[in-house]
Structure 1
């Protein structure tokens, strides 16, 4: 796996990787920042290798996800999954990793579509990023870079694994209703029958002309699905003073303004919980860009980096996270690997 800064020549990087590893699947995506050896990183290429003695994987490129052929995609995944299971009867653990074009506006549909085909392969992943530019995001498999696409990796392992998702947000008392929206573009035009950006600014006590990514990171909104709340993160205000979201939005949706807990304290507690019985040898993390922005705003970037480094978290900052059948925001999704001491961990 390669998590590639958007400031690199992505096509050249994945093409060169293919020449170095012609007999291995190489999955890659652009990032909104990297999680590397020193925690939060910028302008890096982070690589992860899965040792062949402990892992067996298979990957597939899913193209044209805005016009997805659902049944054909489910059939492809099902055949890959069954073949992998047949080849690895001695391995007890399974998981799936999904990277998606973060500007495709299709992650919600994709994750919901493919989830039934994955069965007992718990899935996590992230949406490719482009720093804070929101112009072009890419994924790649085996040297082929693509937009409007995703790469799904199915994996079996002889080591114990744990797929997780965490967030530090608590729903507050202030609610608002989406009264006009363009769901296909994830745009909210009106909230409570008022212009969306101005009404949101009023509710969070901010000047509507001063809304920025720091405001969205510190005043996220959540929607209730079943008995849980999930973030519907705001990406930006467009030229029409409408709110552009990172994930699915629709008219009639009731949004609640959430209150963040202390980011550093919450992350430390969650990582310690993953280490309660045994410390993971490695953790792959897909961490929302809004968490990085919040860490910067609250002057916790160094503390967060130290936590990520101490717990051997590697991965990238995303435009959204995949967990099970859901596409979510303002979370970290990931996987912890619990390896026997003599076998070592992932190769970085």
Structure 2
């Protein structure tokens, strides 16, 4: 059982209620920046996803332990999980890994770089716990309670065909800038093109520095090229001193490319249709970036997006960042499509 819940539910009595309702059923989850429910995009809700034991088995571990700077050996932990699900259901042929991170721990790049090699060919996706637009308090949920500064990995084995995917609706432009001063550990950029970061970014996207807001960052993200592909590096906010804080690690010397967008509604419908070419999934469990949510709100497209999500059986949450195999990414729609056991995977 997986639960995604509004930050308003981050309270001890919520944990008690979850434990009472689900009893001995294993439950994992996190706080969110918004919820994707069976009725579409919502805020202030609690969403639960059940994985029936006649089709799924799972093994969950902390790969970054709560309330400590010590990490367990990630490779050993992941191999234990893979062996556990293989012993439980040796005849089931499909596996995927689901990673939940504390969205304010700012360690996702390191975690996925260490976890993914141990998974081998098992695809991974995940999301960073959110706190609406507050950026104050996030947590994951496991073992009957909330945990901060933790990363939680669940390996699923299933007899259902699955497809782990990632997409975004952005492409690169010819407008580029260079990070000339940064603190990667804190995800802070102080200078771009040897100029104060916020002011130079604003100039490059045609805005006044005083206009910068999460809505501007959602509409005009920057991208980096990794392995021949472009990925969004989303900006979280402007600090009081004019630095830009990102949702991912940004290093000095990195070339940032201003992105251009497709229509987010048409793009989402097209990409979900691709996942249904050989039959509709029973469910799509998704992690969607908070900046996509802000763009949808800004374009007044929430009703259309909700209808598409409902039509394609999407359920999930809005994140402070997404994980896909070895990458920590931003402003994407990432998840797993789960098909009926009789379906044939392409």
Scaled by the length of structure 1, the TM-score of the pair is: 0.95
Secondary structure at the residue paired with 1:15?
helix
1:183 to partner: Cα distance: 1.0
- The answer for the alignment partner of 2:157 in structure 1 is 156
Structure 2 CA distance for aligned equivalents of residues 281 and 238 of structure 1 = 43
Equivalent residue, structure 1, for 2:215? 214
Counterpart Cα distance in 2 of 1:237 and 1:253: 19
Q: CA deviation at 1:119?
A: 1.6
Task: Quote the RMSD (CA, aligned, Å).
Answer: 1.5
Q: CA deviation at 1:243?
A: 0.4
What residue is the counterpart of 1:63 in the other structure?
65
Q: Aligned with 2:9: secondary structure?
A: coil
CA contact (8 A) 2:65 2:71 kept: no
Structure 1: 4+ residue segments shifted above 6 A: none
Is 1:29 the counterpart of 2:34? The answer is no
Q: Residues of 1 paired with 2:9 and 2:213: CA distance?
A: 26
TM-score normalized with structure 2 length? 0.95
Asked if structure 2 preserves the Cα contact closer than 8 Å seen for 1:5 and 1:32, the reply is: yes
The CA distance in 1 between the partners of 2:341 and 2:91, in whole Å, is: 16
Aligned to 1:281: 282
When residues 277 and 65 of structure 1 are mapped into structure 2, their CA distance, relative to the original with a 3 A threshold, is farther
1:79-130 superposed Cα distances (whole Å, 9 cap, x missing partner)? 1211211221111110111110001010000011111111232110100000
The aligned residue for residue 293 of structure 1 is: 294
Corresponding residue number in structure 2 for 1:111: 112
Question: Is the contact made by 2:224 and 2:255 (CA closer than 8 Å) also made in structure 1?
Answer: yes
Equivalent residues of 2:10, 2:31 under 8 A apart: no
Give the 5 Å matches for 1:136-215. Answer: 136-215=137-216
Q: CA deviation at 1:143?
A: 1.1
Distance 1:4 1:117, change over 3 A: same
Corresponding residue SS for 1:304: helix
Offset, 1:340: 4.4
Residue number in structure 1 paired with 2:130 = 129
CA drift of 1:65 comes to: 9.1
| 1:3-82 correspondence to structure 2 within 5 Å | 3-61=4-62, 62-63=64-65, 67=69, 69=71, 72-82=73-83
The 3 A distance-change label for structure 1 pair 272 and 114 is same
Question: Does the 8 Å contact 2:27/2:144 carry over to 1?
Answer: yes
Partners of 1:35 and 1:275 lie apart in 2 by 19
SS of the counterpart of 1:53? coil
Deviates more, 1:4-13 or 1:90-99: 4-13
Task: Report the secondary structure of 2:114's partner residue.
Answer: helix
Task: Answer whether contact 2:67 2:148 (CA < 8 A) is retained.
Answer: no
Alpha-carbon distance in 1 for matches of 2:12, 2:109: 26
Give ranges in structure 1 of 5+ residues lacking alignment: 343-348
Partner of 1:345: none
Cα deviation 1:286-311 (Å, max 9, x = unaligned): 00000010011111111111100110
Alignment check: 8 A CA contact 1:66 1:106 kept: no
> Is residue 264 from structure 1 mapped to residue 265 from structure 2 by the alignment?
yes
CA drift at 1:202 = 0.3
Contact 1:94 1:120 in 2 (8 A): no
Corresponding residue SS for 1:206? coil
Q: Structure 1 CA distance, aligned partners of 2:67 and 2:221?
A: 27
> What is the SS of the residue equivalent to 1:217?
helix
SS in structure 1 at match of 2:153? strand
Structure 1 residues 139-197: Cα deviation after superposition (integer angstroms, max 9, x where no partner): 01121211110111111111101000010001011000000011111000000000000
After superposition, what is the alpha-carbon deviation per residue over 1:246-278, rounded to whole angstroms, capped at 9, x for unaligned? 011111111000001100000000000001111
